[in-house]
Amino acid sequence: MIDLKKITRGIVLFTFDDGWTDQWLDCIPLFQEFNAHATFFYPGPLPEKDLDGIKKLQKAGHSVGLHALKHLNADEFVAEHGETAYLEAEIFPQMKVLESAGIKVENFAYPNNQRNEETDKVLMPYFKKFRAGLPSKPEKGYDISAQPDAFLTMEEAGKTNLYCGNGIGEYYLSTFENLEKALKKAAEENLRLTFFSHGISEEPNQISMNKTLLRKCLQTASDLGMQIAGFDDLP
């Protein structure tokens, strides 16, 4: 477990959604090279293949979380059908599968980053940490380092279990320069910075991360002396 008081060069959290097991497992050696951990979120019924993947990711030191059975918007579902119906439809079925497989998971990523205070309250008894997204939608010239909500001081980080990430991928207008600038800011000012993406490959879709870009980001964060952590590494 990381002691936030001992962090002097910032923390970066790379998180990935939507159960891209093959691509994620393929990246285990890459993360290992930089002594880096990430957090991976699974939607869906969690067939054997996903359970195997989850076990392998956890064994390699990564954190895993749930991402809801049908990937429905939590805020809308709770508002329309109530909290019990939401838990029974989206959360409990996944938890049951993990429980039978003997897998412990304490993190949750909101589908489509849709959340509110009510959904946090509904899910709080079941998870320790939550991943959502930043409110602003990237537009041309988007500069992560200029988004105040993207960065938390260590003191702020110690007080919240909500991690609002910046998207990485073509859709989010990510460039290495943009990411590098954000990493530098986080390292120099000792801040916590969270990212989210989906798959990781050399030919990623619009909302996934290029593997070479990931390597460059890990190299940069490592050179800057940052902690590259998974959710379970943090208090």
Per-residue binder mask for Zn ion (CB under 5 A), 148-167, x = binder: --------------------
Nearer to Zn ion among residue 31 and residue 108 (C-beta): 108
Which residue, 18 or 232, is less far from Zn ion as judged by CB?
18
Cβ(47)–Cβ(75) below 8 Å: no
Q: Tell the burial category of 221 from Cβ atoms under 10 Å away from its Cβ (0-12, 13-18, 19+).
A: buried
**Binding residues for Zn ion, how many (CB under 5 A)?**
2
| Nearest CB to Zn ion, comparing residues 18 and 50 | 18
User: Which range binds Zn ion by CB under 5 A, 18-26, 122-130, 132-140, 188-196?
Assistant: 18-26
Q: Where does residue 193 rank: exposed (0-12), middle (13-18), buried (19+ CB within 10 A)?
A: buried
90 binds Zn ion per the rule CB under 5 A: no
From candidates 17, 50, 90, 232, binder to Zn ion by CB under 5 A: 17
Distance separating alpha carbons of residues 159 and 220, to the nearest angstrom = 27
Q: Select the span of 13-21, 29-37, 179-187, 217-225 touching Zn ion (CB under 5 A).
A: 13-21
CB of 20 to Zn ion, least distance (A): 10
Q: How far apart are CA 234 and CA 39, in angstroms?
A: 12
- Residue 77, number of CB atoms within 10 A of its CB: 21
CB of 189 to Zn ion, least distance (A): 30
Nearer Cβ to Zn ion, position 10 or 19? 19
User: How is residue 178 written in tokens?
Assistant: 């943009």
Q: Are 227 and 10 in contact (CB under 8 A)?
A: yes
Residue 113 C-beta: closest distance to Zn ion, Å: 8
Judged by DSSP in three states, 16 sits in: strand
The distance of closest approach from Cβ of residue 112 to Zn ion in the complex, given in angstroms and rounded to an integer, is 7
Q: Which stretch binds Zn ion (CB under 5 A): 12-20, 32-40, 83-91, 210-218?
A: 12-20
Q: Which amino acid is at 152?
A: L
Residues 6 or more apart whose CB falls under 8 angstroms from that of 160 comprise 152
Alpha helices in 64-133 (DSSP H): 74-81, 83-86, 92-101, 117-123
- Per CB under 5 A, 18 contacts Zn ion: yes
Q: Which stretch binds Zn ion (CB under 5 A): 17-25, 120-128, 184-192, 204-212?
A: 17-25
Position with the least CB separation from Zn ion: 17
Beta carbon nearer to Zn ion, 17 or 90: 17
Residues at the interface with Zn ion (CB under 5 A): 17-18
